[in-house]
């Protein structure tokens, strides 16, 4: 199976990953940390769509800039509408600067499909880190953009507003661990991993 053409940018105070996936027409951007808009411009990536895996400030920092520069639609889960459209409320948990609001062209929900040729993503809603946390699963290609749900050797924190350890770990066990072991996970922070590796070695989900 050919590997997807993927460019990864890591930026901002929280070393947050933005992913740029080559589409038949342009690029899909997944998350938009500080500097993501400039990174896309520097590498001449025309963004056709931007998906935000959740509404925390380190993932939406450059979302409005990416959307404006590329004139592209933005997608996220409705549960994070307030975080995305009124980001200043995140000052209570670490937002260090004023952010521009970003509105959704479409809300993505559990079991929705998002077709961006040649890929068709299944949306998995896994709250617990953030109310609107979603993962984008591409079953034919065998990879998933996981946001801050599952990391290499870890999981998303659950001590922020709207967080829940039980909800997060339950969602991972119910929706991620049943995926094929060789499914590649591209997380919001840190290196890529696989479902099989995390099932064997991740101390949070043993």
Q: What are the boundaries of each domain within the chain?
A: 6-201
Question: 3-state DSSP call for residue 24?
Answer: coil
CATH code for the domain defined by 6-201: 3.60.15.10
Q: Is the pLDDT of residue 1 over 50?
A: no
Q: Is the pLDDT of residue 35 over 50?
A: yes
- The span from the CA of 28 to the CA of 172, in Å, is 24
Which is more confident, 3 or 111? 111
First vs last Cα of the chain: how many Å apart? 30
CB 164 within 8 A of CB 156: no
pLDDT at 206: 81
Q: Is the pLDDT of residue 188 over 90?
A: yes
Q: pLDDT tens digit string along 133-158?
A: 999 999 999 999 999 999 999 999 99
Q: Is the pLDDT of residue 97 over 90?
A: no
Question: 3-state DSSP call for residue 75?
Answer: strand
Strands (E), 14-127: 16-22, 27-30, 47-51, 74-76, 106-107, 113-116, 119-125
pLDDT at 48: 97
In the chain, what percentage of residues exceed pLDDT 70? Answer: 99
């Amino acid at each position: 199976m050919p590997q997807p053409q993927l460019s990864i940018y890591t930026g901002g105070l929280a070393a947050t990953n933005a992913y740029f996936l080559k589409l038949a027409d342009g690029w899909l951007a997944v998350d938009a940390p500080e500097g993501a808009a400039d990174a896309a411009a520097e590498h001449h990536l025309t963004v056709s769509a931007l998906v935000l895996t959740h509404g925390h400030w380190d993932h939406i920092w450059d979302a409005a800039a990416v959307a404006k520069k590329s004139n592209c639609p933005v997608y996220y889960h409705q549960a994070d509408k307030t975080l995305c459209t009124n980001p200043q409320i995140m000052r209570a948990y670490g937002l260090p600067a004023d952010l521009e609001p970003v509105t959704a062209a479409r809300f993505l929900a559990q079991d929705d499909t998002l077709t961006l040729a040649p890929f068709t993503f299944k949306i998995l809603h896994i709250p617990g880190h953030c109310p609107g946390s979603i993962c984008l699963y591409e079953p034919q290609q065998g990879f998933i953009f996981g946001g801050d749900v599952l990391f290499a050797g870890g999981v998303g924190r659950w001590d922020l507003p709207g967080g829940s350890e039980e909800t997060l770990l339950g969602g991972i066990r119910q929706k991620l661990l049943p995926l094929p072991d060789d499914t590649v996970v591209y997380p919001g922070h840190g290196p890529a991993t696989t479902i099989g590796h995390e099932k064997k070695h991740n101390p949070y989900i043993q």
